[in-house]
């Protein structure tokens, strides 16, 4: 099932952990619609702008998968509203800055990114189907004594 020109439901639900553990990772109708909106309004414009493959590392997560990987059941991934991705060969901060400056989104996080290594980490982006609820919150996630912390990004990363 195509969610947009270049994104399919299969790639947005693919999970090695779910496959390895025999877990279902199939979204319901509302979650599938959320994934479609995320693809059409955020991921496809990113793909079109950079003209390179957007490699999804994590999209939809069922409740069973969330529990298995220690993710929150309240995560936007569990609602079909978020994806983690990279465009190999393009610095993650360049991708995130473009999203921040050009698209509507709920949360945009540069995960584990290091300015000394532009291709480090990945980009997390979410989109709320209630258009007016999209906060345009731009953050950097980093480790501090083994704990993930978040800092706001103002301007560009």
Q: Is the pLDDT of residue 152 over 90?
A: yes
Joined together, the tokens standing for residue 68 give 């298995």
Residues 43-62, mean pLDDT to the nearest whole number: 98
CB–CB of 106/134 below 8 Å?
Answer: yes
Q: What band does 18 get if pLDDT is binned at 50, 70 and 90?
A: very high
Q: Is the pLDDT of residue 43 over 90?
A: yes
Q: What band does 36 get if pLDDT is binned at 50, 70 and 90?
A: very high
- Residue 133 CA from chain centroid, whole number: 17
Position 19 scores a pLDDT of 95
Q: Is the pLDDT of residue 80 over 90?
A: yes
Position 142 scores a pLDDT of 93
Beta strands 107-111; 55-58: pairing state: unpaired
Position 147 scores a pLDDT of 93
Burial annotation 117-139 (CB, 10 A radius, 16+ → b, else e):
eeebbbbbbbbbbeeeebeeebb
* Average pLDDT score over the chain: 96
- Residue 67 CA from chain centroid, whole number: 18
Position 98 scores a pLDDT of 98
Position 90 scores a pLDDT of 96
Q: What band does 87 get if pLDDT is binned at 50, 70 and 90?
A: very high
Q: What band does 35 get if pLDDT is binned at 50, 70 and 90?
A: very high
Global pTM value = 0.95
Contacts of 27 (CB under 8 A, 6+ apart): 9, 13, 34, 35, 60, 62, 80
Q: What band does 118 get if pLDDT is binned at 50, 70 and 90?
A: confident
């Amino acid at each position: 099932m195509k969610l947009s020109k270049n994104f399919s439901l299969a790639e947005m639900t693919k999970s090695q952990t779910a496959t390895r553990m025999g877990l279902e990772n199939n979204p319901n109708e509302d979650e599938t619609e959320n994934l479609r909106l995320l693809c059409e309004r955020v991921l496809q414009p990113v793909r079109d702008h950079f003209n390179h493959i957007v490699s999804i590392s994590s999209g939809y997560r069922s409740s069973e998968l969330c529990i298995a990987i220690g993710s929150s059941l309240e995560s936007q991934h569990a609602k079909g509203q978020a994806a983690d991705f990279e465009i190999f060969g393009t610095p993650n901060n360049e991708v995130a800055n473009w999203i921040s400056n050009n698209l509507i989104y709920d949360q945009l996080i540069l995960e584990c990114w290091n300015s000394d290594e532009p291709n480090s980490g990945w980009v997390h982006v979410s989109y709320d189907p209630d258009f007016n609820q999209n906060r345009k919150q731009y953050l950097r996630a980093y480790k501090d004594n083994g704990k993930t912390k978040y800092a706001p990004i103002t301007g560009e990363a």
